[in-house]
């Protein structure tokens, strides 16, 4: 049984301009201990998929479909969600300073989930907080417990936020752009930390990111989202070696490389993602080199071995060009 | 900022503010006087000195601040009045703090329809003439000092609820609230553990500025004759007494009036100082 199962999830937002569709039918399963990366541009629906799954959509958002965690249906079950959040599913956000409550010391912050979920007494929770800080390699952990978030450096804050998400020992950790707000050297340390924590704690990890560099170092499986749909999914090394969807190929080509000619302009995907509205045909066709008349009709996500791709002209199969 | 908590930082800024510190000192002295001063005087607040009626203030006699037209010692009566006025104001502020913060924080965090309903209720209560509301309450439930606390506080929470709701609405959008929800904290824990402590700054400032308002309301009601009644003394009914003798014995008005002005000024300065200290952008 999969740890987290999402079936035909739709997410919409009521706005003054009418109903906006952010996620248009996503199927996703995360196995225990697995690391899945969800990549895509801003607005592709990758964050909203996970927020909807954990019942944390904004007030004007609605979700439909099926979400099950360890076989328990979650969607529209606020009490069950409250129990699962923190204890079953941990969440790490992009802005570590923002996600730590400013008036609480690091110790109080870390102890809270343990006291909420497992009724652990305060002193014991604090001791566990110190152990968790050591586990995420925060130097001088005992002294940090008494400090406030604004007194810590950016990297330490993100480590504390990760420790907080792990306190109640969730089976699944969701990290939403965990390295985006950090500088490059710290990014590498955080990626290394995730790899180590996964090995030692054995939890599953879902990474939401637009940084393919982070994905390459961590993920077992990659899911590429575009305009609210999954356009490609498969094992990380296969997708990196031979992307099938033109959008995935574009994302990989857009990565700067060390052997790039410094005078040359960066490679980009021309155009920008469509505004969420009624869709007709393949959402990527207006930016796609290979778009043809068939692309007026929306391609279904089709399986080919361990890979899935939603494209009428997938690359590397003789059907492109 | 390193090594200093948010509060110790604010404390340092407050200590550097001379007007605020002087006001705080004055308030401490006045409170101690109001509590202990009457014990040091040989006169009871309702004792009549038949030989000294309406004598002016003088350091030579036993009545330092004079007596009223019934020969009661003004020093003792003013301190008693200050004690009662401060007690009413503090309790009324506490009542409005508890109701206002809870109401506002819940409305702001819940948002949507709940928020709209709760805040419309506040709007409706706002539209009622508040002094008449208090008058009706005291008439219906008979006069008592305790009721006065509750009646003033029950009216005073409205603005507090609005202040708090605005802050809570802004805080709700912050990522640390999302993170608290994500870690499984229930709504009550999120509101009282993560939102309320973060809006204590403006709340404390507003409360300090509310105390003098409450003193004035109490004085006003007592002046009208529906607040504290003789022989009990409050600053309001002492001033009402003095106003009647203003032309022949001005000190009967001036002594309690000066005390009221001092208290109100001190609280206002302290409130301003706290606002500056708790808002780092004000430097």
Q: Tens digits of per-residue pLDDT, B24-80?
A: 999 899 888 888 877 777 777 777 777 777 777 777 677 777 777 777 888 888 888
| CA–CA distance, A124 with A138 (Å, rounded to integer) | 19
Of A101-105, A227-231, A302-306, B10-14, where does mean pLDDT reach its minimum? B10-14
Nearest by CB: B183 against A95, A112, A151: A112
CA distance A117 to chain B (A): 8
Chain A CB contacts of B6 under 8 Å are 102-103, 148, 150
CB contact under 8 A, B182 and A98: no
Residue A316: the pLDDT is 77
Residue B3: the pLDDT is 39
Confidence of residue A219 (pLDDT cuts 50, 70, 90): very high
CB contact under 8 A, A102 and B178: no
ipTM above 0.85, yes or no: no
pLDDT at B120 exceeding the cut of 70:
yes
Q: How far is CA A151 from CA A155, A157, A298, B5, in A?
A: 12, 9, 51, 8
- Contact assessment for residue A229 and residue A245, using Cβ atoms and an 8 Å cutoff: no
Residue A68: the pLDDT is 94
- Give B41's DSSP letter: S
Residue B87: the pLDDT is 86
Nearest to A61 by CA among A27, A21, A28: A21
Contacts of A268 (CB under 8 A, 6+ apart): A254
| CA–CA distance, B67 with A1 (Å, rounded to integer) | 89
Of A224-238, A254-268, B191-205, where does mean pLDDT reach its minimum? A254-268
The pTM of the full predicted model, rounded to 2 decimals, is 0.78
Residue A277: the pLDDT is 63
CA distance A99 to chain B (A): 4
- How confident is the model over B71-116, as pLDDT tens digits? 788 888 888 888 888 888 888 888 889 999 999 999 999 888 899 9
**Tally of CB atoms within 10 A around A150:** 14
Q: How far is CA B70 from CA A13, A64, A66, B39, B84, in A?
A: 74, 80, 83, 21, 21
User: Reading across the β-sheet that carries A89-92, which strands appear in turn?
Assistant: A89-92, A172-176, A204-209, A35-39, A221-226, A229-235, A307-309, A302-304
Q: Which residue has the higher pLDDT, A132 or A210?
A: A132
pLDDT at B282 exceeding the cut of 70:
no
pLDDT at A143 exceeding the cut of 70:
yes
CA distance A102 to chain B (A): 8
A302-304 and A307-309 strand pairing: antiparallel
Residue A276: the pLDDT is 61
Contacts of B6 (CB under 8 A, 6+ apart): A102, A103, A148, A150
Mean per-residue pLDDT for B251-280? Answer: 84
What is the sign of the dihedral through the CA atoms of B116, B122, B125 and B126?
A: negative
Nearest to A105 by CA among A53, A52, A142: A142
Q: By percentage, how much of chain A surpasses pLDDT 70? A: 97
Q: How far is CA B130 from CA B12, B120, B125, B154, B216, in A?
A: 39, 17, 8, 10, 14
Q: Tokens 């802005």 identify what position?
A: A95
Greatest mean pLDDT among A95-99, B102-106, B211-215: B102-106
Number of A/B CB contacts below 8 angstroms equals: 79
């Amino acid at each position: 049984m999969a740890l987290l199962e999402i079936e035909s999830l739709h997410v919409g937002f009521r706005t003054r301009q009418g109903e906006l569709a952010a996620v248009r039918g996503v199927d996703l399963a995360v196995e225990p201990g697995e690391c899945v990366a969800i990549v895509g541009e801003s607005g592709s629906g990758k964050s909203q998929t996970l927020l909807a799954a954990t019942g944390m959509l904004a007030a004007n958002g609605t979700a439909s479909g099926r979400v099950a965690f360890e076989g328990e249906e979650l969607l529209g079950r606020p009490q069950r969600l409250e129990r699962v959040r923190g204890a079953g599913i941990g969440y790490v956000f992009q802005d570590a300073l923002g996600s730590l409550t400013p008036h609480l010391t690091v110790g109080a912050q870390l102890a809270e989930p343990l006291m909420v979920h497992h009724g652990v007494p305060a002193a014991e929770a604090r001791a566990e907080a110190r152990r968790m800080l050591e586990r995420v390699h925060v130097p001088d952990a005992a002294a940090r417990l008494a400090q406030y978030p604004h007194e810590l450096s950016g990297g330490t804050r993100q480590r504390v936020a990760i420790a907080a998400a792990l306190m109640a020992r969730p089976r699944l950790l969701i990290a939403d752009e965990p390295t985006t707000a950090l500088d490059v050297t710290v990014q590498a340390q955080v990626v290394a930390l995730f790899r180590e924590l996964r090995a030692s704690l054995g939890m599953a990890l879902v990474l939401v990111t637009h940084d393919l560099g982070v994905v390459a170092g961590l993920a077992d499986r990659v899911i590429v989202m575009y305009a609210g749909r999954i356009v490609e999914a498969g094992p990380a090394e296969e997708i990196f070696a031979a992307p099938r969807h033109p959008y995935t190929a574009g994302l990989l080509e857009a990565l700067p490389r060390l052997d790039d000619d410094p005078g040359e302009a960066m490679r980009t995907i021309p155009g920008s993602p469509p505004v969420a509205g009624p869709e007709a045909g393949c959402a990527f066709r207006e930016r796609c080199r290979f778009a043809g008349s068939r692309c007026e009709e929306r391609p279904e996500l089709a399986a080919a071995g361990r890979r899935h791709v939603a494209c009428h002209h997938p690359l590397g199969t003789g059907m492109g060009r | 900022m390193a090594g200093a908590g948010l509060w110790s930082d604010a404390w340092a800024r407050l200590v550097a503010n001379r007007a605020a510190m002087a006001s705080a000192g004055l308030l401490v002295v006045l409170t101690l006087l109001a509590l202990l001063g009457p014990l040091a005087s040989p006169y009871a607040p309702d004792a009549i000195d038949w030989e000294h009626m309406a004598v002016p203030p003088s350091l030579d006699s036993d009545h330092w601040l004079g007596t009223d037209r019934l020969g009661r010692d003004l020093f003792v009566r003013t301190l008693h009045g200050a004690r009662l006025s401060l007690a009413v104001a503090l309790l009324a502020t506490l009542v409005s703090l508890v109701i206002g913060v809870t109401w506002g924080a819940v409305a702001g965090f819940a948002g949507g329809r709940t928020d709209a309903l709760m805040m419309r209720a506040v709007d409706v209560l706002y539209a009622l003439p508040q002094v008449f509301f208090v008058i009706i309450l005291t008439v219906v439930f008979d006069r008592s000092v305790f009721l006065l606390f509750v009646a003033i506080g029950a009216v005073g929470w409205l603005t507090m609820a609005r202040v708090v709701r605005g802050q809570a609405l802004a805080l709700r959008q912050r990522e640390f609230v999302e993170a608290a929800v994500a870690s499984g904290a229930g709504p009550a824990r999120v509101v009282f553990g993560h939102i309320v402590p973060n809006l204590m700054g403006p709340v404390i400032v507003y409360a300090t500025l509310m105390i003098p308002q409450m003193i004035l309301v109490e004085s006003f009601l007592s002046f009208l004759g529906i607040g504290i009644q003789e022989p009990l003394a409050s600053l309001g009914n002492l001033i009402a007494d003095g106003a009647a003798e203003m032309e022949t014995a001005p000190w009967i008005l001036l002594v309690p009036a000066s005390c009221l002005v001092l208290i109100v000024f001190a609280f206002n300065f302290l409130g301003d100082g706290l606002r500056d200290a708790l808002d780092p952008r004000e430097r």
